[in-house]
Amino acid sequence: MTRTLHVIDQPGPVAQAAVLKLSIDSARLDPATQTDQHAWLLFGGQPTRDAARTLGLRDEQFRLMPKPVGLHKLIPAALAKPKQRMAQAHRVVCWTEGATQIASLLGCAQVVRQINHATRCPFAQHIITQAHQDADRPTPIDRDAQRKQWGVEEDTIVVALLGDRFDQIDTSAAMMAMALTQEALHAVQPDRADVRLLCHPLAKCRADAAELCRLLSVDHLLIQDEAIAMPWSMLHACDVALTPMPSEAGLSMLWAQAMGLPVITPVNDRPPMIESLEHAVPARSSKPRDLADALTQWARTPAPTVC
């Protein structure tokens, strides 16, 4: 039997779960490797182990290695076990740039696919679409339960801030867009429901966003939930997604696309995957005012979503 080893470095504080799920789904759905014996070599700490177990990997299926501080600082002793693992595999699939660098450093000749920003989009979109189609559909009860956990009413608009790497997404700018949208909608309909932003607790400028909410006396408009790092488990409870920086949105945006969720995205930052988005709602730029204008327009004439 062909042995395939999936190698994943930790691309960011919260990005690893999305990449890991893509690798697991590809092992299950990609005809080229469905009959292989699969194993995973993961670089990270306890959060990486937790994510692997949450996604259904058994402990014997993956090996966890400490994340190297810098690849140039790796010493031969630290490379011995990864090198042995790679040598035992017929195929080595590198899912992150760091993993590719490690494989190159080890002189690995079995690398069959490199997944990066330039090449992963068509393959990733195909696998994610298939994975969503195969998954159990969330029910209205699931949606209601999640929104109740957030303290959100049914008519409240929940905006998911998308990004595989939340440390690169400016949460304060997104929060300003929420405040401007709220103001515009309430100017026409004062009793209209709130517009709330869902973000990761580790998101960039999250503290600034919280302070902005406090100054505007709208603390309740910011929802923080680390589970958004696994968008397939959260987006069914959201109404629309927002990505001020599509080039950093990565696999999260593909999950929103697969689930039929509208995505507010600036037209001045269009990576290849944007071109194929069926539910993109264009904003003039990533400035809060332009994002708010696009979100306001969508909210006034919302399109139906399909989870």
- Residue 77 domain-assigned? yes
At residue 275, the pLDDT reads 56
Q: Give the number of other Cβ atoms within 10 Å of residue 173's Cβ.
A: 19
- Residue 82 domain-assigned? yes
* Backbone angles phi and psi of 300, in degrees to 5: -80, -25
Are residues 82 and 158 part of one domain? no
Are residues 202 and 255 part of one domain? yes
Are residues 256 and 174 part of one domain? yes
Domains: count for the chain: 2
Are residues 157 and 48 part of one domain? no
HEC readout, the chain: CCEEEEEECCCCCCCHHHHHHHHHHHHHHCCCCCCCEEEEEEECCHHHHHHHHHCCCCHHHEEEECCCCCHHHCCHHHHHHHHHHHHHCCEEEECCHHHHHHHHHCCCCCEEEECCCCCHHHHHHHHHHHHHHHCCCCCHHHHHHHHHHHCCCCCCEEEEECCCCHHHCCHHHHHHHHHHHHHHHHHHCCCCCCEEEEECCCCCCHHHHHHHHHHCCCHHHEEECHHHHCHHHCHHHCCEEECCCHHHHCHHHHHHHHCCCCEEEECCCCCHHHHCCCCEEEECCCCHHHHHHHHHHHHHCCCCCCC
Sheet of 91-94, strands arranged across = 62-65, 37-43, 3-8, 91-94, 111-114
Are residues 264 and 164 part of one domain? yes
d(CA 92, CA 38): 10
Are residues 92 and 147 part of one domain? no
> 78 lies in which domain range?
3-116
Are residues 172 and 98 part of one domain? no
Identify the CATH number of the domain in which residue 50 sits. Answer: 3.40.50
- Residue 132 domain-assigned? no
What pLDDT tens digit does each residue of the chain (307 aa) get? Answer: 788 889 888 765 556 788 899 899 988 888 877 788 999 989 888 888 888 999 999 999 998 887 665 555 555 556 667 777 777 888 888 888 778 877 877 777 777 665 654 445 677 778 888 888 888 888 888 999 999 999 998 889 999 998 777 777 778 888 888 888 988 988 888 887 788 999 888 777 777 777 777 777 777 788 889 888 888 989 999 999 998 877 667 788 888 888 889 989 888 665 555 555 667 888 888 899 999 999 999 998 755 554 4
At residue 307, the pLDDT reads 47
At residue 113, the pLDDT reads 65
Are residues 244 and 169 part of one domain? yes
- Residue 126 domain-assigned? no
Are residues 199 and 103 part of one domain? no
- Residue 123 domain-assigned? no
Examine the fold and report which residue of 116, 150, 177 is the final residue of a domain before the chain moves on. Answer: 116
d(CA 168, CA 204): 6
Examine the fold and report which residue of 84, 100, 116 is the final residue of a domain before the chain moves on. Answer: 116
- Residue 35 domain-assigned? yes
pTM: 0.83
At residue 98, the pLDDT reads 78
Nearest C-alpha neighbor of 65 from the set 52, 86, 79, 50 = 79
Burial letters 72-97, b for 16+ CB under 10 A, else e: eebeeeebeebbebbeebebbbbbbe
At residue 119, the pLDDT reads 42
Q: How many CA atoms lie within 13 A of 152 on its CB side?
A: 25
Burial letters 135-155, b for 16+ CB under 10 A, else e: eeebeeeeeeebbeebebeee
At residue 115, the pLDDT reads 61
Sign of CA dihedral 42, 48, 49, 53: negative
CB of 277 within 8 A of CB of 263? yes
